Structure 1
Amino acid sequence: MAVNPASCPFCEIIAGGDADARVVHRNEKVTAFFPLQPATRGHTLVVPNRHVADLTNLTVAESRDLGEAVHRIARAVRSALSPDGLNVIQSTGAAATQTVPHVHFHVVPRWSSDRMILRWPQGAAEDDAAQDMTLLAIREVLPPGAARVSAEDRRQHLSFIQAVITRMSQASSSSKSWLLPIVTLAYGYAITSKSPMVALLGCLAVLVFGVLDANYLKQERAFRKLYDEVASGRPIPAFSMNPALASPVGARANYWPDKPDLRSWAVAPVYVPLTLAGLSIAAWLFYR
């Protein structure tokens, strides 16, 4: 089901690249539009703006945003068209008839005389004993629901997360403070002793501190995202300090800074010039 978002027709509509798309609603989180061939009058698709192929890979926040948007669209469709009923359909995987690998919900207005056909098979798929085993299997892996927390508990939780964010910010500032005298001494000594190797050692120090600083930034961003989840009332376990809970289900842990972290204004404009300065000094000393 993997697909390049650049080739996803839904992503193109979300980005405004399809002039023919009939967009019902769009905000920073979700987009709703008519499909190319509506099954009934008012048939609307509701999709997350982030490209996600599988329903289970949505974040908790995205799931809530989609649920709210589906409810809002369903109310609007019912108010505008007065259908006899509504179907809300979501398919994940080819076996479930998903044809576009971007999570989407169908809001389908229904009339007794429409051409839509939706039939459930006759009879149960499993006998009673098999259903009991299936029930136990699902219950064993079902994640626990988030406990209901008071407003005071939420404020305390937010203060804990904010303390970590502040600590990451201070660590980033400290890394720059430590690096500057090290680089000054290394580059100065390289020039006075005419040693290009010392200049290269200074460049190595810049790279090490740069990666460390970028990782501080990555952790700060992760905890800021967790802060937003808790502040908005998302179902995060009480007092959890795990920022992975604000990431898509199944997301792989990555302990190295990502490209956006390395390119950040707090990292690249500081460490790239220092690295180039060291390389220039080393080249000048080597070829002089």
Structure 2
Amino acid sequence: MVNPAACPFCEIIAGDDASARLMYRSQEVTAFFPLEPATRGHTLVVPNRHAAELTDLTASEARDLGEAVLKTAQAIRSALAPEGLNVIQSTGAAATQTVPHVHFHLVPRWSGDRMTLHWPAGAAEDDQSQTRTLAVIQAALCGEQTTVEAEDRRQHLSFIQAVVTRMSQASSASKSWLLPLVTVTYGYAITSKSFFVALLGCLAVLVFGLLDANYLKQERAFRKLYDEVAAGRPIPAFSMNPALASPVGTRVNYWPDWPDVRSWAVAPVYGPLLLAGLGVAGWLLCR
């Protein structure tokens, strides 16, 4: 924490720096030229109360500062007619803040001036990571991390549980549909001695197996979301996006993963049926 008495901006606000080129000073805000302006008309706008970072401002101070920034920008545009204008605010050393007193740079711009700003190419996060980052910030913005009522959380959990139940029912239904289908297909292949019908039955097993594995994957994803919501993690209220429960940077794969395929609910059911179909097809091929 910097002592306001040692702050160069506080000295300017107090009128103790005779070399300062003061533009104006109100009860709340002061505007002045920096020691080494980057361009013609480069101006700093600061709150009169010493606040080290932007987040230290009160709501009223932020309003006063915002109005002063707008007023100063309009004056600069009117007086100097620049081709453009940068409004820059840096908070923290990592953001290049060198004076620990909140300040906004208003930098008039002309083509070919000596001011340079470079943004990195490409996105810092992929689409799914951006979605999760957005959700976390929105939750903090709305104060949901501390204001979610117990009843709202219970309702959110019930919504997620309904999806888990639906995925489980869909998995059961896929098995119920497949068993008579493969029975008819394999039986017809044997009685009619049709190798291709046996392969058709094998294909049906593969398709239903993939569907069932995907149902299992979705069920696991929503169960993880359930655990995150139950633990009070920063998940937006009533969000049904299971990707929010995954670590930032995790890539979304819409195909079943190997653990889903070899699960006891999938491999022991569809594996023997597929082997039986292949056995029938092999027997018919060798006849």
TM-score (norm 2): 0.53
Matched ranges for 1:218-233 at <5 A:
218-233=217-232
**Aligned counterpart, 2:247:** 248
Task: Summarize the Cα distance change of 1:204–1:228 in structure 2 as closer, same or farther, 3 Å threshold.
Answer: same
**Aligned counterpart, 1:184:** 183
**Candidates 109, 132, 138, aligned match of 1:144:** 138
Q: Which runs of 5+ in 2 are unaligned?
A: 1-92, 108-116, 118-132
**Which AA in structure 2 matches 1:193?**
S
Task: For residue 177 of structure 1, report the CA deviation from its aligned partner.
Answer: 0.2
Task: Summarize the Cα distance change of 1:207–1:155 in structure 2 as closer, same or farther, 3 Å threshold.
Answer: same
Matched ranges for 1:158-237 at <5 A:
158-237=157-236
Task: For residue 145 of structure 1, report the CA deviation from its aligned partner.
Answer: 2.5
Inter-partner Cα distance in structure 2 for 1:232 and 1:152 = 14
**Which AA in structure 1 matches 2:157?**
L
Deviations 1:241-260 (A, max 9, x none): 11011001122221110000
SS in 2 for 1:252: coil
Q: Which moved more, 1:219-228 or 1:231-240?
A: 231-240
Q: Which of the pair has more CA radius of gyration?
A: 2
Task: Summarize the Cα distance change of 1:151–1:185 in structure 2 as closer, same or farther, 3 Å threshold.
Answer: same
Task: For residue 235 of structure 1, report the CA deviation from its aligned partner.
Answer: 1.7
Deviations 1:181-240 (A, max 9, x none): 100000000000001110000000000000000000000000000000111111210011
2:262 matched to 1:268? no
Task: For residue 131 of structure 1, report the CA deviation from its aligned partner.
Answer: 11
**Aligned counterpart, 1:277:** 276
Task: Summarize the Cα distance change of 1:210–1:231 in structure 2 as closer, same or farther, 3 Å threshold.
Answer: same
Task: Summarize the Cα distance change of 1:152–1:191 in structure 2 as closer, same or farther, 3 Å threshold.
Answer: same
Task: For residue 124 of structure 1, report the CA deviation from its aligned partner.
Answer: 4.5
**Aligned counterpart, 2:124:** none
Inter-partner Cα distance in structure 1 for 2:233 and 2:106 = 32
**Aligned counterpart, 1:20:** none
Inter-partner Cα distance in structure 2 for 1:269 and 1:235 = 38
SS in 1 for 2:137: coil
Inter-partner Cα distance in structure 2 for 1:144 and 1:241 = 15
Please report the RMSD computed on the Cα atoms of aligned residues, expressed in angstroms: 3.0
SS in 2 for 1:238: coil
Task: For residue 143 of structure 1, report the CA deviation from its aligned partner.
Answer: 2.4
Deviations 1:159-179 (A, max 9, x none): 100000000000000000000
Q: Which runs of 5+ in 1 are unaligned?
A: 1-119, 134-139
Deviations 1:125-167 (A, max 9, x none): 489446999xxxxxx9782225121000111111100000000
Task: Summarize the Cα distance change of 1:131–1:240 in structure 2 as closer, same or farther, 3 Å threshold.
Answer: farther
SS in 1 for 2:138: coil
Inter-partner Cα distance in structure 1 for 2:203 and 2:278 = 10
**Which ranges of 4 or more aligned residues in structure 1 deviate by more than 4 Å?**
123-133
Matched ranges for 1:1-288 at <5 A:
124-125=97-98, 128-129=103-104, 143-146=137-140, 147=144, 148-288=147-287
Task: Summarize the Cα distance change of 1:233–1:287 in structure 2 as closer, same or farther, 3 Å threshold.
Answer: same
Percent identity, please. 74
SS in 1 for 2:139: coil
Task: Summarize the Cα distance change of 1:194–1:157 in structure 2 as closer, same or farther, 3 Å threshold.
Answer: same
TM-score (norm 1): 0.52
Inter-partner Cα distance in structure 1 for 2:170 and 2:104 = 58
Aligned residues: 164
Inter-partner Cα distance in structure 2 for 1:238 and 1:189 = 53
SS in 1 for 2:284: helix
